[in-house]
Amino acid sequence: MPPDIFSPDARRAAAEADLGRLWARGTDFLGCRYAILGGAMSWVSERNLVAAISNAGGFGVIACGAMTPDLLAGEIEGTLALTAKPFGVNLITMHPQLDDLIRVCLEHKVGHIVLAGGIPPGGAVRAVKDGGAKLVAFAPALVLAKRLVRSGADALVIEGSEAGGHIGPVSLTVLAQEILPHIHDVPVFVAGGLGRGEAILANLEMGASGAQLGTRFAAAAESVAHPAFKQAFVRANARDAIPSIQLDERFPVIPVRGLVNAGTKRFLEHQAETAARFQAGDLTKEAAQLVIERFWAGALRRAVIDGDVEQGSMMAGQSVGMVTSVQPTAEIVAELVGQAVAALVARRG
């Protein structure tokens, strides 16, 4: 007897196949079941969460941040002990030991290296490529996306201002329209404000090869973040996650999106006090800039690890409103995939 192509099971199987085709380029590139990357979040994206994302069928990414080469080597080895699935490492291009960090990744056979925080130096690009790893880079605009592809990037991430942490000025909605129709040589992954599978699906249909999420995974059960940090995410809504405010144009502040707390308000006072000291001649302009920049030194660790949700830096994207509970990572991934599949099923009537 032929299968009933209109049965719920058949429609779901067809939808799953459609989703598989939509992100096939991303899954082939990453070597995983679902083209869902974990955003690299300092103090959060370490072995436990990275391995959990990869084991759930996604693609975990270690956030190297300010780690030394030895610390990174230990983190990679710790991750390898928890998963046999592929994962990547995110390196900051401004790190003074970037070359050594790349060497560590290559020695440990890391297949994908993400270079973030600026245009990757030519030497770093060559080292990654010559070492046999895939290079992933961030593209904040179409002109830079084209330049990165020409310089050797194997894949791009376009991240909108809805994301948590350090952000650019343009939303993912606009970046996707600007970049996706024009970049075809390499996979492009979207990021920023993504919290549901339907949104991932919409970007796949525009030409994306997959999606990167951070905020939802930050509050996952396997995340080492302090329980108070996770509960702050559960309580928050999108309007609570705002960029840091620059008070005086003479002292630039790099925009960082996070949850408003006592530290956020104190930062405004700190900027005003420092500007007044400069005006009074107590500080040079350079010294005043440093005083402002050092305000948040160690603040992310205080929030994530120590649980100081009042004075710490609570980096979070606007998708924080979609964090409604502390869930196992596998449940989050299954939920995202299920939402995308359900949307495709609904279209089939």
Q: How far apart are CA 42 and CA 40, in angstroms?
A: 7
List pLDDT tens digits, range 307-348. Answer: 999 999 999 999 999 999 999 999 999 999 999 999 999 987
3-state secondary structure 190-211: EECCCCCHHHHHHHHHHCCCEE
Q: Residue 64's closest CA among 37, 88, 91, 39?
A: 91
Distance between CA 82 and CA 61 in Å, rounded?
A: 14
CA–CA dist 187, 156 (Å, integer): 6
Backbone torsions φ then ψ of 227, nearest 5 degrees:
-55, -35
Domain 8-224+325-347 indexed as CATH 3.30.310.50: no
**What's the mean pLDDT when you consider all of the chain?**
96
pLDDT, tens digit, for every residue of 283-312? 999 999 999 999 998 999 999 999 999 999
Q: Kindly state the average pLDDT of the residues 160-177.
A: 97
Mean pLDDT of the 116-130 span: 96
All structural domains of the chain with their residue ranges: 8-224+325-347, 237-315
Closest of 127, 125, 126, 177 to residue 137, by C-alpha: 125
Element (H, E) at 177: helix 172-179
| Spatial separation of the C-alpha atoms in residues 194 and 247, rounded to whole Å | 29
Task: Give the model confidence (pLDDT) of 171-223 as tens digits.
Answer: 999 999 999 999 999 999 999 999 999 999 999 999 999 999 999 999 999 99
Determine the Cα angle at 164 with ends 214 and 22, to 5°. 45
To the nearest whole percent, how much of the chain has pLDDT over 90? Answer: 95
- Over residues 143-152, mean pLDDT: 97
pTM assigned to the model = 0.95
Which two tokens mark 137? 């880079």
- CA–centroid distance for 55 within its chain: 18
Residue 65: CA count within 13 A, CB half-sphere = 19
Q: Which of 285, 239, 243, 301 is nearest to 268 (CA)?
A: 243
Contact predicate 166/118, CB 8 Å: no
pLDDT (0 to 100) of residue 1: 41
